[in-house]
Amino acid sequence: MGIEISLFGKTKDGKTAYLYKLYNDFMECTVTDYGACLVSVWFRDKRGRFRDLVLGYDTLAGYEDNSPCIGAVIGRNANRIKGGQVDIGGIAYQLEKNEGENNLHSGKNGYQHRVWDAWTDEVDGDSKVIFLLDSPHMDQGFPGNAKIAVTYTLTAGNEIQIDYQGKADADTIFNMTNHSYFNLEGQESGSVLDHRVWIDADAFTETDEEQIPTGRLIPVDGTPMDFRRERRIGEGVDKDYPPIVLAGGYDHNWALNHPGSMRPVAGAYAPESGICLEVETDLPGLQMYTANGMGAEKGKEGAVYQPRCGVCFETQYYPDGNHHSHFPNTVVKAGETYRTSTIYRFFRK
């Protein structure tokens, strides 16, 4: 186990950013203090070949542009908010409308475009990088001076654990996630349609034509949204099923079973490489996104990312939760601490 720190470069406004490589005897991952982004995940396939399993960029400039939010920590709020407006304590707060009339991933000034403070630690054989960010009152339109901490830990069990914490001096919204695109055959290998996926969810949140939740939970039974048994992404991603047609593929929130405690909620397996990913979280929702909107994005080592070249497993509270009283609550009271964790576990079949 260990940690190596190297210079990544300078941002357009002259701030210095670094890379932090965490490694054990079997794998390594790299994160950067720019956007608290996950840059690489190296793991050996069934033939012993080392493969990088997440999409990314070779340069800091790539992450400064990064319209697909590759590898990014999203905050204060992940996913979509109808009308770009939240109601907290009877007060309406207007956010940026950066996707039509709605807010997506907190707007263009998201946390993925900030240089975070960072420090490293090694505890009981695990390597950690802790990223810290001050988000002032009305940052992105949200109330409250907030202190944010995101910790990446590489464990001896080949897990990347991401712990999120937030506290503000006013009632505010916290709903953070990681937006990494996984390709278990290697970031340069193209389509993920042969990946086999499972999701422990009996229902998903119905959305309208703008992909905003209607408030209804739709049973997955008998639909292309049913991943309760492992199956190929490609079996359903282009089905003539209205929610899939509207999203151009999978880009939906599944209402996970048994929320509230850490448990495995989803996984993926690439038969060609033999590499498996298991996702564990304490959160109630998971957005699976199959990179439908990706278009000739220039990535690492000469790779060009096209639609369906990666799959995101974004653990979260339900989208637009502030507008649906029966959805899990995303408002955190002043002085209270928002805490949640997600684990990405890698192994081979």
Q: Which residue has the tokens 């850490």?
A: 262
Cα-trace Rg, the chain: 19
Q: CA nearest 317: which of 330, 303, 301, 304?
A: 330
105 is an active site residue: no
Q: CA nearest 12: which of 63, 59, 58, 64?
A: 64
Secondary structure E strands in 169-210: 172-173, 177-178, 196-199, 201-207
Q: What is the DSSP string of 232-246?
A: EGGGTTT-S-HHHHH
User: Do residues 149 and 315 make contact, with C-beta atoms less than 8 angstroms apart?
Assistant: no
Separation CA 318–CA 307 (nearest Å): 24
Separation CA 48–CA 40 (nearest Å): 18
137 is an active site residue: no
| Residue 80 structure tokens | 């979509």
Provide the terminal-to-terminal Cα distance of the chain, rounded to the nearest Å. Answer: 24
Phi then psi for residue 319, to 5 deg, are: -60, 150
Query: Out of 159, 278, 297, 314, which one is annotated catalytic?
Result: 314
CA 12 to chain centroid, in Å, comes to: 25
Query: Out of 179, 278, 280, 297, which one is annotated catalytic?
Result: 179
Q: CA nearest 270: which of 45, 48, 54, 71?
A: 45
Separation CA 92–CA 143 (nearest Å): 10
Entry field: residues in the chain = 349
Q: CA nearest 330: which of 172, 138, 144, 206?
A: 172
Secondary structure E strands in 46-113: 50-52, 73-74, 80-81, 85-88, 91-94, 103-104
| Residue 294 structure tokens | 């990706």
Q: Hey, which residues are catalytic here?
A: 179, 314
